Copies of this chain bind each other. A is one copy, B any other.
């Protein structure tokens, strides 16, 4: 795993239905084929399907789990590197801060908190069959990226991650 590989998070629920899981698997596959590392919450549903797609394509996945240990938060069987946080949904912040860009697939309240924490900290978010938001001023936030397919979502996430790194490098005067 090269240190310069992009880290792409997939946000999504633990109890997703089959079509979303198919999309998550394809999303994971494309993240791995692009040479990026998958970050996810490490549990079932969308998270497991994304990690399964990564493994099928020979990539690496990192699962950032809510519980204190394997008994409290069993990682799904496709996770390569499980990390236990003991922080519950506080682990969503670690996902949001560690990713170069994120893709939200479907999702419930936990996923919405990940989307919000990511945007709060400048992490680009691509939405795939996920929440739609209207801010207190009655506007859709113009800094969310909408995609219609896993292929488009991964392409958009990688482009956003690249743009973000370039801007970070400029700030450091590289």
Contacts and interface: CB of A to CB of B under 8 A. Distances in A.
Interface string A90-129: 1001100110000000111110110111011110000001
A25 to B, nearest CB: 17
Interface stretch (A26-34, A80-88, A153-161): A80-88
B117 A97 contact: no
B1 A168 contact: no
A48 interface: no
A62 interface: yes
Given A82-B98, A87-B87, A130 B136 contact: yes
Contacts of A97: 68-69, 83-86
Nearest to A130: B136
Given A69-B121, A168-B70, A98 B83 contact: yes
Residue with the highest number of chain B CB atoms closer than 10 Å, among A70, A84, A88, A130: A88
Interface in A132-151: 132-136
A132 to B, nearest CB: 4
Nearest to A104: B136
A3 interface: yes
